[in-house]
Amino acid sequence: MKIIVSGGGTGGHIYPALSFINYLKTVEPDVSVLYIGTQKGLESKIVPENGIDFQTIDIQGFKRSLSPENFKTVYKFLKSVSDAKKIIKAFQPDIVIGTGGYVAGPVIYAAAKLKIPTIVHEQNSIPGVTNKFLSRYATRVALAFQEAGSFFPSKKTVFTGNPRAQEVADLTDTRHVLSQYGLKTDKKTIVIFGGSRGALKINTAVVEALPELSKKDYQILYASGEIYYNDPEFSEIFATYNQKENIKIVPYINNMVEVLNDANLILSRAGATSLAEITALGLPSILVPRPYVTADHQTKNAEALENAGAAIMIKNAELTGISIVGAIDSLLLDDVTYRKMAENALCEGVPDASDRLYQVLKDVLNGR
């Protein structure tokens, strides 16, 4: 089997693709995979590091306002479709899968025009512009959130979940990973992070909360982001509270999946990949949606879990030290509420997401 995968720009489009590729290699040992991305995107670093063949095309997104740059974007799109067709013809894939981001646009479009079966995977509850456009041409649209179905042709959609969820669910025992951070392995633990770069609002609120958190019987692992960890405004405070027995502040957590598997609660943004991971683990969460993202999709993602009783949502503007401590206490100090939310989170998870997407792939290849 020969497959082309395309998706990029952010980790939310790349990591689900990598998870599915890793899964495919276990069920189709002879599979040949080519990943198409951009040179400027995060995928240009991550994909080759994972030993996957990688080629690039040149593409950029449209400006949301009238701009001369949009004429350049149209030109680049047309050229990138032509470039994608050349790559596709040379590789001769059986199927092409797009996981979102601008780069997937010309690749899926080119494959469809060449009569090659295509699947678009949408990770968010509110689809991006690229996937909405591609749904007209794709053979099938796979959804990570049921709520996204209303944006696509109903005959083409199928709910699969996010492949990242199955990779997390299949983890082997990770007990004692917290000891790597100087924390106890037998204490309730909350992990707090604001994304790979951190988030100023979360940092400010955590600093406000630290005096109270340091008195708690539970423990805190906080990833501040490299920029804030070394910022004089925060670094001295972080250094002081890092001396506390129940608090560990680090710039970044590079084994996040293993850490989450050993944690009791998480406070984070509401990116689709993070939510796939935490629901697969049945992990209760406190979600602070990132503002000013496309179509406010993180709020919609968080609301989907909150409405299912699987999370507490705090709006970015309402995040304070007091609201952080209150939300954590309401879960870690109330076993009944905590257990119910954990059950609800697990119900929202899709631990067989890659199995489901693989079945869609086989159905498409078999003309079903």
For helices 272-280 and 335-348, give the axis angle rounded to 10 degrees. 110
Q: Please, are residues 109 and 25 in contact by the beta-carbon 8 Å criterion?
A: no
Q: Residue 296 corresponds to which tokens in the numbers above?
A: 């406010």
pTM across the whole model: 0.84
Residue 63 confidence (pLDDT): 47
CA distance 332 to 73: 49
CA distance 333 to 148: 35
- Identity at 209, one-letter amino acid code: A
For helices 200-213 and 232-241, give the axis angle rounded to 10 degrees. 30
Q: Average pLDDT by consecutive 10-residue portion of the chain (368 residues)?
A: 93 92 96 95 92 90 51 75 97 97 94 98 89 94 94 96 91 80 95 87 96 97 93 94 96 88 95 91 96 86 94 97 98 97 95 97 93
Beta bridge partner(s), residue 95: 3
Give the phi and the psi of residue 225 in degrees, each rounded to 5: 95, 140
Question: Taken in order 248, 171, 4, 110, is the CA torsion positive or negative?
Answer: negative
List the domains of the chain with CATH numbers.
2-169+351-365 (3.40.50.2000), 177-348 (3.40.50.2000)
For helices 335-348 and 297-307, give the axis angle rounded to 10 degrees. 120
Residue 237 confidence (pLDDT): 95
Residues 177, 180, 186, 191, Cα dihedral to 10°? -80
CA distance 219 to 312: 19
Residue 74 confidence (pLDDT): 72
What is the SS3 string spanning the chain? Answer: CEEEEECCCCHHHHHHHHHHHHHHHHHCCCCEEEEEECCCCCHHHHHHHCCCEEEECCCCCCCCCCCCHHHHHHHHHHHHHHHHHHHHHHHCCCEEEECCCCCHHHHHHHHHHCCCCEEEEECCCCCCHHHHHHCCCCCEEEECCHHHHHHCCCCCEEECCCHHHHHHHCCCCCCCHHHHHCCCCCCCEEEEECCCCCCHHHHHHHHHHHHHHCCCCCEEEEECCHHHHCCHHHHHHHHHHCCCCCEEEECCCCCHHHHHHHCCEEEECCCHHHHHHHHHCCCCEEECCCCCCHHHHHHHHHHHHHHCCCEEECCHHHCCHHHHHHHHHHHHCCHHHHHHHHHHHHHHCCCCHHHHHHHHHHHHHCCC
Residue 77 confidence (pLDDT): 82
Question: Taken in order 294, 3, 150, 124, is the CA torsion positive or negative?
Answer: negative
Q: What angle do CA 57, 62, 65 make, to 5 degrees?
A: 165
Residue 255 confidence (pLDDT): 85
CA distance 365 to 368: 8
